[in-house]
Structure 1
Amino acid sequence: MSGTEVSAEQVGMLVLIGAPGAGKSTVGRRLANRLSLPFVDVDQLIEQTSGREIADIFATDGEATFRELERAATVAALAGSEEQVVSLGGGAPMTEAIAEALAPHHVVWLKVSPGAAADRVGLNVARPLLLGNVRSRLVSLLNARTPTYQRLADHVVETDDHGADDIVELIIEHRRELERR
């Protein structure tokens, strides 16, 4: 590990938001490991509790059912006082109940361009909202979601030119700066 160790008491709950391909799951897992905190990936939580893959929920029950499962899982994950790192699904912040639940937490927007996100996501069929022309769908999603991400974020990290470990370091350094104030 590089840099000074950061204790859980210093960090609080960190919540990662951003578009598909921004690196929320990868960065979240590494950030939690670096900070010795639990990691919650809400998409994985939904799959574990429902016993189904997200793509299957979308295909069988539709987006509205998925969004309700996402709302319940996310609000529950954010309701606890436990120090942890939480990775949200890309569309989760668009749900008002989730946006409200984010208020007491430190929200980090992992900002990614459509081109970089498309390169990272590829033709991943496990992402039902990106089926078809991936780059075009990402442009549409980002146009719709960027204002919400901007409104909710306490900190923005540009991810296009950074690897996951660099992004983790940028988040930790930002937290250290906040603690010095």
Structure 2
Amino acid sequence: MSGEAPKSALVLVGASGVGKSTVATVLGARWRIRVFDVDEVVADRLGASVGDLVIAKDTRLEEERRRVALAGLAVPATAEEARIVVLGTSQVLDEEVVGALQVARRRGAQVVELTADTAEISRREGLNAPRSVGLGAPRAMLTAMLRTHHAACEPLADTSIDTCERTPEQVADAVEATCRLSDGRNSAHSRQ
């Protein structure tokens, strides 16, 4: 499938491991538009992966992520400036970012939440390997985190797409099928 790119922006939200960056890369190549991955920009600017910055408790991280997300969500003036914005997992909990996301939606951005279940994310992130019982119940903690994250994303997203047992190309097809395309068609708030 090779649909048209949205007029302004497509914003992908979701938990870590659902495939936001990978799907954005597929769609960016198909539509020949820029991918603005907030965590990649932050990592480039701060010189380390976001994961490493979180572990190091880098005090610059939160403000830099906010600054980069707000820049990415600024709605383009023309269709030639259209882009795919990938928000970091925690950014749907940041009030300033949520406000900018709501403004972007009112101005034509399409927001898609990508989801996956605990088992799939555990497999993708390597959490399905044997571990010490001293670590507690990471799968139970992940399940609770996924529920909380979905509750934050749901009111912000135009649609949610399950990425379980789908290739990135199949997920990209589903995103295309539900997006408001450049001819102005709009999908209903849906879950796939």
Q: TM-score range by the shorter chain?
A: 0.7 to 0.9
Aligned length, in residue pairs: 170
**Which among 153, 156, 159 is matched to residue 160 of structure 2?**
156
2:17 aligned counterpart, secondary structure: coil
Q: For 1:72 and 1:99, how far apart are their aligned partners in 2?
A: 13
- Structure 2: which 5+ residue stretches go unaligned? 128-134, 187-192
CA distance in structure 2 between the partners assigned to 1:76 and 1:122 by the alignment = 32
- Cα 1:11–1:173 change in 2 (3 A) is farther
Q: Under a length normalisation based on structure 1, what TM-score does the superposition of the two structures give? A: 0.83
How many Å apart are 1:96 and its aligned residue?
A: 0.8
Instruction: Note the C-alpha offset of 1:132.
Output: 7.6
The within-5 A match list for 1:53-68 is: 53-62=49-58, 65-68=60-63
Match of 1:122 among 121, 126, 137: 126
* Higher normalized helix content (fraction of residues): 1
Contact 2:11 2:110 in 1 (8 A): yes
Identity %: 28
* 1:79 paired to 2:74: yes
Q: Which amino acid aligns with 1:146?
A: H
CA distance, structure 2, for counterparts of residue 23 and residue 4 of structure 1: 19
Give the CA deviation at 1:46. 0.3
Q: Which segments of 5 or more consecutive residues in structure 1 lack a partner in the other structure?
A: 124-130
Is 1:69–2:64 an aligned residue pair? yes
Pairing partner for 1:171 from 151, 158, 175: 175
1:118 touches 1:134 (CA, 8 Å); kept in 2? Answer: no
Could you tell me how far 1:97 is from its partner in structure 2? 0.7
Pair member with larger Rg = 2
- 1:168 Cα offset (Å): 0.6
4+ residue runs over 4 A deviation: 131-134
2:94 is aligned with 1:98: no
CA–CA distance in 2 between the matches of 1:28 and 1:132? 34
Question: CA contact under 8 A between 2:2 and 2:30: conserved in structure 1?
Answer: no
